[in-house]
Amino acid sequence: MSEYDLVVRGGNVTTASSQSVCDIGVKDGVVTAIGRSLGPGDREIDATGLLVLPGGVEAHCHIEQKSAFGLMTADDFESATISAAFGGNTTVIPFAAQHKGDSLRAVVEDYHARARPKAVIDYGYHLIVSDPTPEVLGQELPALIREGFTSFKVYMTYELLRLDDHQMLDVLATARRDGALVMVHAENYDMIRWITERLVNTGNTAPKFHAISHARVAESEATHRAIALSTLADTPMLIVHVSTEEGSAEIRRAQDAGLKIYGETCPQYLFLTVDDLDRDGMEGAKFCCSPPPRDADAQEALWRGIRNGTFQIVSSDHAPYSFDSNGKLYAGPNPPFTKIANGVPGIELRMPLLFSEGVVKGRIDIHKFVELTSTNAARLYGLFPRKGTIAVGTDADLVIWDPTLERVVRYADLHDRAGYSPYEGKHLTGWPVTVVNRGRVVVSDGELQVQAGSGQFLARDTSDFAKPLGQRLPEVDPARNFGADILPGDL
């Protein structure tokens, strides 16, 4: 019997902070040796001339998720995790979404039943909290956090999901007390509603008006307010899917003040623009997501934010709706923008897009690429160092990447079920060729190599980033019990 189940030989092993040409030995799903001229493995992969990176951790995606008004995403856990794996990912963290009146516990059980028989790579869930009742805050959330659901998302917009500021503070205080990270969809609901009413009343209902209704200032105002709420509750926060320079500037300002505010952006804000929503007929509906893609100046601002550390992660926000009556066009073939399902697919292209447009074009280096696509997600969401890096003792989650392979994006080559790609026709350089999750070869030679249901659920630790702000800010007295048990008199 060999010393190793698998040896990946001679690749350029690259993490967020190091790079060297060496072999990786894997036993029982774990990296057990990194060095030169390792002994033989039962299976060997020649990675000469290729990069060997930590498997991608895709930490913002909507999989087999029912919207508040009953619309199901096109992907289930099988198609989405296969698509994620072909895109270089070994872990996904989608959402278990609570709708008003739901018990969070029952929601989590539902998602377990969906994922367990289907996932081909490892997975956990963030919780979406839309109904923070005393029972949810006092009993369900604390128990679920203890069981490894250590992050949740809240919405400041969308009629059926949004929380008001008072509810946000309740959720933030719970997160602080029990050690969870809160992700925020920051857009001002009333601004969007007010503009939308005026657009609809004047007959301006084509897809491009979706972008106009989601004004840039709606994002920056809500981002500013979310940060203020985080400051009051003394709790770290991640602002997700940031689309504007103004939103980015709010995050930067908070970080400069020493606050633990983190930022995420997504491919649709780096590679698509508002012009895509203005394509012929209903084609623009394919690009409707919230917040919407902006313009070239916003794209440049987001790249600056990536380079200067304002953004810790780039996630796909994969929200796949087919371009038919089961998805985007659920309200008919020619709906007003208010009745187009929001979201774009992209789980398979997140890493290739960022590699080609970021690393190959010289906007970021390879270490930043690893940090943005894997390491920081693992750290943010309590999976590091098991996931997100390559070292002795970590899960053998590896993506073997050909940095020179050139391909043109064709939806026919992808594995999701959205039915289209917003990036169709784009020439990309640098693609994953072999994907290994816990030592199992999941993808090689362009074929899936594992069975549905072979992915494992991940109970997650407290985020590395979710430490109370009082530890960092001298003007906050840590002796005062800010947050969960705050009394009005304290202010």
Token readout for 421 is 């790609």
Q: Of Zn ion, ligand URP, none, which one does residue 233 interact with (CB within 5 to 8 Å by kind)?
A: none
How far apart are CB 364 and ligand URP at their closest, in Å? Answer: 23
Which CB, 185 or 415, lies closer to ligand URP? 185
Which CB, 23 or 58, lies closer to ligand URP? 58
Q: What distance in Å separates the CA atoms of residue 201 and residue 381, rounded to the nearest whole number?
A: 43
How far apart are CB 187 and Zn ion at their closest, in Å? Answer: 8
Contact indicator for 66, 97 with CB cutoff of 8 Å? yes
Contact indicator for 71, 415 with CB cutoff of 8 Å? no
Part in contact with Zn ion (CB under 5 A); list of ranges 96-104, 170-178, 183-191, 383-391: 183-191
Size of the site for Zn ion (CB under 5 A): 2
How far apart are CB 317 and ligand URP at their closest, in Å? Answer: 5
How far apart are CB 240 and Zn ion at their closest, in Å? Answer: 6
Which CB, 95 or 369, lies closer to Zn ion? 95
Q: Of ligand URP, Zn ion, none, which one does residue 342 interact with (CB within 5 to 8 Å by kind)?
A: ligand URP
* 126 belongs to the binding site for Zn ion (CB under 5 A): no
How far apart are CB 161 and Zn ion at their closest, in Å? Answer: 9
Bridge partners of 185, per DSSP, are: 155
Which CB, 6 or 288, lies closer to ligand URP? 288
Q: Which element (helix H / strand E) includes 278?
A: none
Contact indicator for 100, 130 with CB cutoff of 8 Å? yes
Q: Which amino acid is at 313?
A: I
Closest of 462, 488, 464, 410 to residue 142, by C-alpha: 462
Q: Among residues 9, 118, 185, 286, which is the contact residue for Zn ion, using CB under 5 A?
A: 185
Q: Of Zn ion, ligand URP, none, which one does residue 382 interact with (CB within 5 to 8 Å by kind)?
A: none
- Residue matched to tokens 């377990």: 112
Q: Which amino acid is at 199?
A: L
The count of other CB atoms within 10 Å of the CB of residue 417 is 18
Which CB, 220 or 342, lies closer to ligand URP? 342
How far apart are CB 343 and ligand URP at their closest, in Å? Answer: 4
Which CB, 174 or 342, lies closer to ligand URP? 342
Q: What distance in Å separates the CA atoms of residue 329 and residue 453, rounded to the nearest whole number?
A: 31
How far apart are CB 131 and Zn ion at their closest, in Å? Answer: 17
Which CB, 328 or 386, lies closer to ligand URP? 328
Token readout for 93 is 């963290």
Bridge partners of 41, per DSSP, are: 4
How far apart are CB 9 and ligand URP at their closest, in Å? Answer: 40
How far apart are CB 290 and Zn ion at their closest, in Å? Answer: 7
Bridge partners of 199, per DSSP, are: none
* 214 belongs to the binding site for Zn ion (CB under 5 A): no
Which CB, 58 or 317, lies closer to Zn ion? 317
Closest of 447, 446, 445, 435 to residue 8, by C-alpha: 435
Closest of 47, 4, 16, 64 to residue 379, by C-alpha: 16
Closest of 293, 347, 292, 286 to residue 322, by C-alpha: 286
Q: Write each residue from 307 to 346 as x if it is in contact with Zn ion (CB under 5 A), else as -, in one continuous string.
A: ----------x-----------------------------
- Helix, strand, or coil (residue 244): coil
Q: Of ligand URP, Zn ion, none, which one does residue 289 interact with (CB within 5 to 8 Å by kind)?
A: ligand URP
Q: Of ligand URP, Zn ion, none, which one does residue 58 interact with (CB within 5 to 8 Å by kind)?
A: none
User: CB nearest Zn ion: which residue?
Assistant: 185
How far apart are CB 69 and Zn ion at their closest, in Å? Answer: 16
Q: Could you write out the DSSP letters of every residue in 289-350? A: -SSPP--HHHHHHHHHHHHTTS--EE---B----SSTTTTTTT-SS--GGGS---B--TTTH
Q: List the interface residues with Zn ion, window 223-252 (CB under 5 A).
A: none
Which CB, 31 or 183, lies closer to ligand URP? 183
Rg (CA), the chain: 22
How far apart are CB 115 and Zn ion at their closest, in Å? Answer: 17
Dihedral sign, Cα of residue 450, residue 452, residue 454, residue 460: positive
- Helix, strand, or coil (residue 404): strand
Which residues contact ligand URP by CB under 6 A? Answer: 62, 185, 241, 289-290, 317, 319, 342-343
Q: Write each residue from 139 to 178 as x if it is in contact with Zn ion (CB under 5 A), else as -, in one continuous string.
A: ----------------------------------------
Q: Say if strands 126-128 and 151-155 run parallel, antiparallel, or are unpaired.
A: parallel
Which CB, 93 or 372, lies closer to Zn ion? 93
Q: Could you write out the DSSP letters of every residue in 176-227? A: HHHT-EEEEE---HHHHHHHHHHHHHTT--STHHHHHHS-HHHHHHHHHHHH
Using alpha carbons only, give the angle 348, 350, 351 rounded to the nearest 5 degrees.
95
Which CB, 240 or 351, lies closer to ligand URP? 240
Residue numbers at the binding site for Zn ion (CB under 5 A): 185, 317
